[in-house]
Amino acid sequence: MPSVIITGGTKGIGRCLVLKFASKGFDIATCARNQSELDSLKKILESNYPTIKIFLLKCDISKKDEIINFGKLAIIELGTVDVLINNAGIFIQGSISKEEEDVFEKQINTNLASAYHLTRTILPGMISTQNGYIFNMCSTASITAYTNGGSYCISKFGLLGFSKVLREEMKEYNIRVSSVMPGATLTASWEGTELPSERFINPEDVANLIFNFYETPLSMNIEEILIRPFKGDIDN
């Protein structure tokens, strides 16, 4: 069976990705910080997709040792990894001049360094098989700076840069790399908003789109996937 590693698989786009790939017969490895949410997800997967392998681990991806350990254990459980989706991230609103002292490090470690370390852990296997697809969950904040975006924008600009470099390096190994840049998506980050759901992107639609791109012919690489709400960006 093909296999996929998805970080942040218990909420939002990550959860939709887990369920989408599981429905297509993929063995699944995912991580999150909340054990009870992982347990709940495991029950759903075992009940609906009893034939696939499932590996779930409580993990703080902002910590280098933990994300590398997750990657190593996922390889042991799944064997060859066909798809890696660096999805998990964190959004802390604030301006550069007024952010708390540790906000920069927290967002850089979560949104950027985690993808770097996990990808480096998974790459040797993909390189050896000359096969693989890596999706990095960037953001419209990767290309458009905005007030009160602060360290979040910096981390997402960095993630897009990481994706661009990785794309160039992986060409010779037949490994595809795509940067996914969704705008406002109706996830936990927007809890409590009074805006109608129609102003947001549906996370399930993003997951379906990513899977569709995974299925595109090997002769092409879709480098950037830019997605905005139909009525445009939401002012912050």
pLDDT in tens, 199-216: 778 999 999 999 999 999
What pLDDT, in 10s, does the model give residues 165-190?
Answer: 999 999 999 999 999 999 877 566 65
Q: pLDDT digit string (tens) for 10-50? A: 999 999 999 999 999 999 999 999 999 999 999 999 999 99
Rounded to an integer, the average pLDDT of 81-104 is: 94
Is 22 strand, coil or helix?
helix
- CA–CA separation, 200 and 152 (whole Å): 19
pLDDT at 184: 76
The least confident of 51-65, 100-114, 221-235 is: 221-235
pLDDT tens per residue across span 117-142: 999 999 999 999 999 999 999 999 89
pTM to 2 decimal places: 0.94
At 193 the pLDDT is 64
Arithmetic mean of pLDDT over the chain: 93
The predicted structure's pLDDT at residue 146: 83
Strands (E), the chain: 3-7, 27-32, 54-58, 83-86, 132-137, 175-182, 224-227
At 201 the pLDDT is 86
**In terms of CATH, what superfamily is 3-227?**
NAD(P)-binding Rossmann-like Domain (3.40.50.720)
Residue boundaries of the structural domains of the chain: 3-227
Confidence band (pLDDT; 50, 70, 90) for 191? low
